[in-house]
Each structure stands twice: as C-alpha cells, then as structure tokens.
Amino acid sequence: MTIATGVAKQLTYKAESTWNTAAGASGAQRLRRVAADLNLKKDTFESNEIVTTYQRNDYRHGLRRVEGSINGELSPATYKDFIAAAVRRAFAAITATASVALTIAGSGPTYTITRGTGSYLTDGYKVGQVVRLSVGALNAANISKNLLIVDITSATVISVMPLNGVALVAEGPVSGCTVTATGKTTYVPITGHTDTSFSIEQFYGDLTLSELYTGCKIDQLDISLPPSGMASIGVKLLGGDLTTAASAYYTSPTAETTTGILTGVNGILAVQGTKVATLTGLNFSIKGNMSGEAVIGSTTYADIVEGMVMVEGSFTALFDGATMRDYFINETEISIIAALTASSAAAADFMTFSFPRVKVGGADKSDGQKSLVQTLPFTALYNSTGGSGVKTEQSTFAVQDSAA
C-alpha cells in the first residue's frame, strides 16, 4: 500500500482569467513551501424529524468552498503573485535614472546622494525603497550596493543606509551615473484595484492524484520577521471549488524559485527614518476581509467579494528609554521600514516593507531577571499626503522585491 508523503506533493498555481474557472494548464508556477493544507469544506445539515424508529433519517451536504493556508519561508520573488493579489496591485518597475552626476557625502550610518540635475521625486523614488548605483567612475565601494532610502530631503537629495552595513566612500560629483530601484514595487492603490484569483493544484506524486482548487483568493497574508531565524509568510485562502483527477493538471510548470531566504540578521529596521538596534521582532498582517454568499440553486459561492485592505501588526523592542513608549502615550504617528536581505553581500536579493503612517496601540513591558521588552501593536493607516511627486506612497503599505 502506497501512502502519500509531503515531500512527494507538488504545489502549483496560476492566476485565473475568470473567477472559479480553471486557469490554462500551461504557464503555471510551482511553489516552494513549508506546509500547505488546502481543503474542500462543505456545510452540512442534519434532519430534526421525529420518527418511530428513534433514529436520524437524513444528513445532507450543502455549500462547497475552499479553505486553507500555505506557509513558507519568505524569499524574494517566491510569493510576489500572492503579495500583489493581497494589496490588489501588480508589481511594477521604476524606470532607472541614467546619466546623472552624483555626489556622495557622509560618514555613516546615513549618507546623502545628491544628483546634479532632475528630481528623485519626479522619477518615482520613495522612502523605503532600495536603490543601487552603477556606471560612471564611482568608487568600487559605492557600486552595486543595496542602499535603503530613509529620507528624501529635496528633489535632488536622498538619504540612504547600506543594507550590509559597509561604509560608502564620499566622492563627487561623478558624471554619467545610473540610479536604479532594483526589482519591482507595489502598494495598496487608491484606484484600479485588481481582483485576482488562482487555481492551485496539490499533486500527490506518489499516488498520482490531483486536487485542483479553483477560485482561490488571498484573504490574509501574515509576515513574521524575527531577529534571528528565517522570515516566514502565511497565506490564508478562500476559494470556490475542487476538481479531482488521476493525473497532474498543470503541464511543464516553471520550477520553484531559488532565491535565498530572508533573515532578520541581514537588513535594517527603521522607525521614523532612524535605524533601531533594539527591535527584537516585527510581525504584520494584510487582511483582505473576503466574503462569499450562498445562493439558491448552486452548491458554490456566486463570487468571493473583497472587503477593505487592512494592515496591522506589532513590533517588540528592548525597553531602553521613553521614545518607543511615548509613541503610544502621545498617540504619535510614526513610519516603519523593514528591509531584509538574503545574504550579507552588497547586492544581495532583498525585500522591503514600508508603512508610511502608523499609530501604536500599546506599550506593554515584560518583567523578570532579563532585558525588559516592550510590545507595541500597531495599525497602518491610509497616507493621504503621499503620492506622485512626493517622498511616500499614497497608501497604507508598500513593498519592493528585488527579484519580482
């Protein structure tokens, strides 16, 4: 007797053109994971009739739906499609700025990069993005290095921190340089929201059995960035129906990504534009508030409808003074940026997460014979002052993925 094993199960997905209609069998993406537990769920109904046999007469199945989750370790590119679906906007590239003269100044940990002409703001750069410098006769220490933008002080000046902590070299102006926001970015938009659903297959290779779950929408993303250990992601799904078969549905899918896994020891956590060395963890959720309604004459939802996109989480920090605590006491609005890399290399793959407008909802502190830690839950809010030509997005949340 053959018993299915997790290592022989393959998880593959593709975006649908029509909700709850299986995506085409070609062009799918295989997904690496820690665990996946998609399942078909049904409402059930029991008869309440009283009969002379003293026994129940009937038991029926009702509405069918897909529920479950996919849990993984967070790596660039791997979950980009699910992240884009959660914020309801596709990832898009920012056009690189070419042929500019740059002057690099500062002694760390923050440096300024001043351009001779043009505007960083007009070109679409935002606080919380990572850029790399190239071309020109720049010092080798300044080329192809991940630089986190922590402020844009004017149209021609950005303040940056190297993600690998290795100093830049002051120089300039150096002509003919290029500034690139590596990879692609997305955020919760104010208009033009996408409505993406996926067909997700669990194929049990040792049994040669396929389960194709259609109409799957991202109800919630949970991202955890610990101070040590692997960053993780949890994807909660709500879907329409299940189709089974004795062979794999998807043909020749693209292989799993091979990018490195993000870790808290490689990167920067910044609050109010300042790197905070005492943060001990950051967790947040993007909630889609999905819902479906049963209709007479159908065993599945007519549709799964999106609600508001809500982002909330918490961070923990060593209790080293009044600053963090007073964000809560004084109801101070703050910004949070998390930028993590897949290694300590200067141009390692990375992801950044930006919350331009946040309010803290508590500042509870631990006790005991140890370093005291305070826990600060937060809610991310719509940033009405952001948008085109200014230094932040007009959004609750933004993300950049170097490999997207």
| Domain locations in the chain as residue ranges | 8-46+60-91+187-401, 97-182
Name the phi and psi angles at 383, rounded to 5: -95, 85
pLDDT value for 21 = 96
User: Residue 229: pLDDT above 90?
Assistant: no
User: Residue 78: pLDDT above 90?
Assistant: yes
Which tens digits make up the pLDDT trace of 303-317? 999 999 999 999 999
Residue with tokens 């014979």: 369
Residue type, 368: G
- Count of other CB atoms within 10 angstroms of residue 315: 24
CB 223 within 8 A of CB 231: yes
User: Residue 265: pLDDT above 90?
Assistant: no
CA distance 25 to 252: 9
CA distance 215 to 14: 11
Which tens digits make up the pLDDT trace of 190-209? 999 999 999 999 999 999 99
Residue 136 pLDDT grade (very low, low, confident, very high; cuts 50, 70, 90): confident
User: Residue 299: pLDDT above 90?
Assistant: no
What class, spelled out in words, does domain 97-182 have in CATH? mainly beta
User: Residue 106: pLDDT above 90?
Assistant: yes
Residue with tokens 């208009």: 191
- Count of other CB atoms within 10 angstroms of residue 331: 10
CA distance 292 to 33: 27
CA distance 323 to 9: 49
CB 44 within 8 A of CB 230: no
